[in-house]
């Protein structure tokens, strides 16, 4: 453990910032039948807490289904200035967890996303989220920490992104969730134009 900690400290001492290939605001506003509408920007307080280098907060609609896309990106991650799970921040905003797990997304090759069902004041939502860093797409927060240390030591980089897709849920009806999964399947073909490889 001491050796691992020393290696991690050595890696973090030489970490470089890795900027986006393009700003997230340039993310397509229309693709594959999905059309976007702007959402209010995050407040100064929210941006201060988030401490992200760039973010995207937009709503997309198709066939009567509306999904919210939230992407946050860090050029380098350090203590207090890093990706964190929506399981930490959503309860702080009053959302109560109902169910959680992982789901497969078919997009050329299968990748897995976290599925988090939440409720607040009679509202329900399905939240899908995953992480992308250094060409990896993964759901596990634990693997994310391992990748972070390895990349800091071996590649001197700790950049990373969190991608979150949320959709309203009505009872046991999974149709909106399926639409959110179909929306998520489109993103791996677009995000590499913005995220560093």
Q: Residue 9: is its pLDDT beyond 50? A: no
pLDDT of residue 14: 67
195, 20 Cβ separation under 8 angstroms: yes
pLDDT of residue 24: 96
Q: Residue 43: is its pLDDT beyond 60? A: yes
pLDDT tens digits for range 56-107: 999 999 999 999 999 999 999 876 666 778 887 787 678 888 999 999 999 8
Q: Within a 13 Å sphere around the CA of 30, how many CA atoms are in the beta-carbon half?
A: 2
pLDDT of residue 104: 96
pTM of this prediction? Answer: 0.89
Please give the average per-residue pLDDT across 131-156, as a whole number.
89
Structure tokens, 127: 């939240």
Round to whole Å and give the CA distance between 50 and 141: 17
| CA neighbor of 38 nearest in space, from 68, 64, 59, 23 | 59
pLDDT of residue 83: 76
The C-alpha R_g of the chain, in whole angstroms, comes to 17
Look at 13 and 187; give whichever has higher pLDDT: 187
Q: Residue 190: is its pLDDT beyond 50? A: yes
Q: Residue 32: is its pLDDT beyond 80? A: yes
pLDDT tens digits for range 93-105: 788 889 999 999 9
- Where in the chain are the domains? 2-193
CA distances from 141 to 3, 72, 88, 135 (A): 22, 15, 12, 16
pLDDT tens digits for range 122-133: 999 999 999 999
């Amino acid at each position: 453990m001491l050796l691992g900690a020393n290696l991690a400290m050595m890696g973090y001492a030489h970490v470089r910032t890795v900027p986006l290939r393009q700003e997230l605001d340039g993310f397509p506003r229309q693709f594959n039948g999905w059309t976007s509408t702007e959402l209010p920007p995050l407040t100064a307080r929210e941006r201060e807490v988030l401490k992200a280098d760039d973010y995207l907060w937009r709503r997309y609609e198709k066939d009567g289904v509306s999904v919210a896309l939230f992407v946050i990106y860090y050029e380098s991650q350090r203590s207090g200035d890093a990706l964190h799970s929506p399981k930490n921040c959503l309860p702080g905003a009053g959302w109560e967890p109902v169910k959680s797990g992982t789901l497969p997304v078919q997009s050329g090759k299968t990748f897995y996303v976290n599925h988090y069902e939440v409720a607040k004041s009679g509202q329900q939502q399905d939240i899908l989220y995953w992480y992308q860093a250094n060409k990896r797409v993964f759901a596990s927060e634990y693997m994310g920490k391992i990748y972070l240390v390895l990349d800091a030591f071996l590649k001197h980089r700790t950049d990373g992104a969190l991608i979150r897709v949320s959709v309203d849920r009505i009872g046991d009806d999974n149709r909106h969730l399926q639409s959110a999964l179909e929306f998520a399947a489109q993103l791996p073909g677009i995000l590499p134009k913005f995220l560093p490889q």
